[in-house]
Chains A and B, each alone.
Chain A
Amino acid sequence: MSKNGNDGKPLNVVGKTFRKVDARAKCTGQTKFADDIFLPRMLYCKILRTHEPHALIKNIDLSKALALPGVFAILTGKDLPISYGILPVSQDEHALCIDKVRFIGDPVAAVAAIDEDVAFDAMNLIEVEYERLQTITSIEEGLLIEEPRIHDYGDGGNVHKKVSLEFGDVDEGFAEADLIREDILFYEGNTHLPMEQHAAVAYFDPDQKLTLWSATQTPHYVHRALAKVLEIPASHIRVIATPNGGGFGGKSDPFNHEIVVSKLAMITGRPVKCTLTREEVFYCHRGRHPVLMHVKTGVKKDGAITAMHFKSFLDGGAYGSYGVASTFYTGALQTVTYEVPRYKFDGLRVFTNKPPCGPKRGHGTPQPRYALEVHLDKIAEELNLDPAAMRRSHLVQPNSVTANYLRIGSMGLGTCIDKVVEGSDWKDRFSWPATGPRVIVSEPRAVVTGSTTAIESLDPIATAPGSDTRKLPLGKGIGFACSSYICGAGLPIYWNNMPQSGVQLRLDRQGGVCVMCGSVDIGQGSDSILAYIVAEILGIDPFDIRVITADTDLTPVDLGSYSSRVTLMTGNAAIQAAERARELLTIAVAEKLNVPIENVSFAERRAFDVENPEVGVTFAEAVVLAESKFGTIGTVGSYTPPRSPGKYKGAGVGPSPAYSYSAAVAEVDVDPSTGIVIVERIWIAHDVGKSINPALVIGQVEGSVYMGLGEILMEEMSYRANRNVVHKIPSMLEYKSPTTMEMCDVKTYLIEDPDPNGPFGAKEVGQGPLRPVPPAVANAVYNAVGVRIDEVPITPEKVLKALREKDRGRDARFGPTSIPNVDWPEPLRVLTPAEGGDGREMPRVAVHS
């Protein structure tokens, strides 16, 4: 068996550009999405969603609705009393609310009717009486208002989760610093906005088996939730994830409409479909958490970090969703780019009466990465260092373990930085704007320690502080940022010893190859990746292969399309399955050709003797030989990530088999009279380990840049105040996202620093390249007009306000100025690897003694 597919032979498929295996279907409109399924006698479901943000349900009257001709069934909460949720620790949702609603959009009743119009009319005839409760609308209120509680679990009052971790003695680290800086930043929530609205179709067949087709990224978890809530054996349930019309994390939770259509199909004996309206998709949400952040970092004069303390406050919305993981993720990946020898993280998530937040592309990490990269930019300016060079000098080492016990494998960030610095002509275009003091920090709560004289005596590296030597005209700016992302989570959501990904391969005597895997193609091309990898190993054409995915009856479990896990995990499982199949073929072919086993090679749909390549058999003949010798040819492969060195409580979030790296430079044009920011171009380099298909990798990079651009410039979930907490703009017109007119030019560099854990060395690309984009743009805005916008998105209003402040001689920034006072728990202390730690927390007693 090879090491991750690499057996030293030249590659014929991997690393080359091919169409996706389903490209023709997608370009001819033939891909069947969930709402494209029409079954005979199918009923249509509409879900009544509450207009109350926080209320007790006093009474539900269905009589008028049930009397409407064409109505077949109506469900309320009491019909589905069992709770569910994506995480085992947050089973806090009901398919339909039972006694209480928690946000505008929470589902209360579900109708199945002969058509959508009747279902809609019936829905409007349902009468619900409520008793209003006080609403909790913000992080601050979530911390202040202990009663009423939105949920009766969590870490007290309306705090869902509160964590505190300390790796090494950060106070000691701060004492070693020449400069300590503190910043407060806010990242507003935004949503996935997939083009396809969620849809699901259920059918309960005469043999009492349930089939659900759904636009889900995680059929395995939907399968679990259906079995739990419907109280039928999982073996009687088949979940088929239809190709997703975009996911971005928004289709990763088990959803109420999936459960409701299943129950309605069981009751009525007819297929039932529910397709959400665009407005409902906004209320389903599970998108980017709004996060308030406080970051404090101690650095040496050369920018080397001595210690970092990061605090995050997440506005979770009304349910748990992935929120516990999201909370940890806001603190986990600060350490994987630059050396952070001592690190402390305090994080909390509050429940509020808003649509629940969850995972969106980058899950919990774009917010802290924005904060960190803007903060480091400010530090570089104070130290009068070039911000790209400063970061470049303090990168984490490949094959190392971070202070919080994340094991780094390959690490191509240095090359990424070099590429974008060179490509953007950074050194000739970047200079610090001649504004503001360098050492006396004017930021709120900012403090400076260490020797200021030593800092002032530093040699000027970028430009002399205070001098006016702009290299670009006022209004034009460039900014820099880096990031990194996981390639799948080291631990599965349900901790167990089973593989995270399985692949089954079937070879038939006609030479047909069928690869089956539980993964879901959400547009990223995961079906194609399976075909490319199997084709590479078996020496056949990827378009010869039949790919069957995301069907819990037919395909082995893959946990789903989230955490940027699919290429690495299914890829490794596919390699194992294909190599096992190749081994069987090799034995049979070697016998037939009468050559040693090691001489048999596979390429161009043939198996042949490497020493006499003309001596061989066709691939189909090779299968016949193997089938004659061994019987039916089917193999399996599976993948389980390596164990993480972190053993402390909380160590489950952050570990990954590998980390991708990205660096970006943004070039902006800011109009000081309007505050409008136009991003002209972004140079981005992404260390993908190895491109399985470079064209698809570039597509993911460009798509990530696009989504990051939307987040930094315009996208935001915004709610009316005055206690109603109704979404202001639940439509695609008013929720601004970049059109062709706003999208910037993108210059992409693919960096390949192969990781030993990746298939053929491959790492992720679907999420990582989003993360440097928001801070690179924010830093470029500062470079252009000398104001810091410490709040995402950077709207024209915020730029104008900051410019006005600057003109008045005040702090040239827009952003939050304080964080709530919180009694953080005594941190769980962990000695770092450098301090000789073993990855476990120190006993509490020893800490206090």
Chain B
Amino acid sequence: MNQKAHILFTLNGEAAEVAFAPHKTLLEVVREDLGLTGTKHGCELGECGTCTVLVDGRSILSCLMLGVDVEGREVMSIEGMAENGKLHPLQDTFADLGAAQCGYCSPGFLLAAKELIEKSPKPSRDEIKEALSGNLCRCTGYIKIYEAVELAAARMRGEEMELPRESLYGLE
């Protein structure tokens, strides 16, 4: 009855092997058994989006998925977003614009935004709102997050885009 589940999967591009109590959620396995605490939790009921990770490229709520369900699949958590110490363009623009205030919801937003930009390289403001509507943030009012996503998307398309003066210094 107390036998542990034992699975193999890919976590942030690396092979991961882990044994855990089979009722554990992916969130718990990643944080507690694999020690990657970048994935946060706000409700553990699928309501806040804070625990978002990518499974096979799709954003999912890790608090609602069992750890055993990622057997053989590819999982990306926030720890896998920067490569060799180089921030992902979204991480750069979130940092530049102050889109991460307390930073608690940021991992979830960053991964949800990554999925969006990969599907839609030039997302409209409405598309961004829709894509991020499952993630709650209590600090920013979301506006800096939209701007950071737009700026990162432009950079990823290879386009020059100045940081909007208004979003850094306010209106004249």
Interface residues of A, Cβ cutoff 8 Å to B: 17, 19-20, 22-33, 35-36, 38, 192-197, 243-248, 277-278, 419, 423, 522-525, 694-699, 702-707, 731-733, 737, 739-741, 743, 746-750
Query: Residues of B contacting A704 with CB < 8 Å?
Result: 141
**Can you name 21 A-B residue pairings with CB atoms under 8 Å?**
A19-B96, A20-B100, A24-B87, A26-B95, A26-B100, A28-B81, A28-B87, A30-B38, A36-B37, A196-B42, A197-B41, A246-B139, A278-B43, A523-B139, A694-B170, A699-B144, A704-B141, A732-B43, A740-B135, A740-B142, A747-B171
The A contact surface, by secondary structure, is loop
Tell which of B78, B137, B138 has the most Cβ of chain A within 10 Å.
B138
B137 close to A195 (CB less than 8 A): yes
Distance in Å: Cβ of B12 to nearest Cβ of chain A: 11
Which of A245, A246, A278, A737 contacts B45 (CB under 8 A)? A278
Query: Residues of A contacting B65 with CB < 8 Å?
Result: none
A743 close to B142 (CB less than 8 A): yes
B154 in the interface (beta carbon within 8 A)? no
Query: Residues of A contacting B101 with CB < 8 Å?
Result: 246, 523-525, 699, 703
Interface residues of B, Cβ cutoff 8 Å to A: 31-32, 35-45, 47-48, 50, 77-79, 81-82, 87, 91-92, 94-98, 100-107, 110, 128-130, 132-144, 146, 166-171
Tell which of B40, B100, B130, B141 has the most Cβ of chain A within 10 Å.
B141
9 closest Cβ pairs, A-B complex? A29-B38, A523-B102, A26-B103, A245-B104, A706-B141, A29-B78, A23-B95, A36-B37, A523-B101
B95 close to A29 (CB less than 8 A): no
The B contact surface, by secondary structure, is loop
Query: Residues of B contacting A525 with CB < 8 Å?
Result: 98, 101
Determine the distance from Cα of A81 to Cα of B139 in the docked complex, in whole angstroms: 38
A705 close to B40 (CB less than 8 A): no
Query: Residues of A contacting B31 with CB < 8 Å?
Result: 36
Which single residue of chain A is at the shortest CB-CB distance from B79?
Answer: A29
B168 close to A17 (CB less than 8 A): yes
Distance in Å: Cβ of B160 to nearest Cβ of chain A: 19
B142 close to A706 (CB less than 8 A): yes
B40 close to A741 (CB less than 8 A): no
Query: Residues of A contacting B43 with CB < 8 Å?
Result: 278, 731-733
Query: Residues of A contacting B128 with CB < 8 Å?
Result: 740
Which of B104, B130, B167 contacts A196 (CB under 8 A)? B104
A741 close to B133 (CB less than 8 A): yes
A38 close to B35 (CB less than 8 A): yes
B87 close to A732 (CB less than 8 A): no
Query: Residues of B contacting A22 with CB < 8 Å?
Result: 103
Determine the distance from Cα of A362 to Cα of B158 in the docked complex, in whole angstroms: 43
> Given A19-B95, A36-B31, 12 other A-B contacts at CB below 8 A?
A31-B103, A194-B102, A196-B40, A246-B104, A694-B169, A698-B169, A699-B98, A706-B141, A737-B136, A737-B138, A743-B143, A748-B166
Query: Residues of B contacting A17 with CB < 8 Å?
Result: 168-169
* Given A23-B95, A195-B104: A278 touches B44 (CB 8 Å cut-off): yes
Tell which of B43, B104, B146 has the most Cβ of chain A within 10 Å.
B104
* Given A195-B104, A278-B43, A741-B129: A746 touches B143 (CB 8 Å cut-off): yes
Query: Residues of B contacting A743 with CB < 8 Å?
Result: 141-143
Which single residue of chain A is at the shortest CB-CB distance from B92?
Answer: A27
Distance in Å: Cβ of B110 to nearest Cβ of chain A: 7
Tell which of A30, A707, A749 has the most Cβ of chain B within 10 Å.
A30
Query: Residues of B contacting A741 with CB < 8 Å?
Result: 129-130, 133
Distance in Å: Cβ of A567 to nearest Cβ of chain B: 15
A28 close to B79 (CB less than 8 A): yes
Which of B32, B81, B169 contacts A38 (CB under 8 A)? B32
Query: Residues of A contacting B82 with CB < 8 Å?
Result: 28
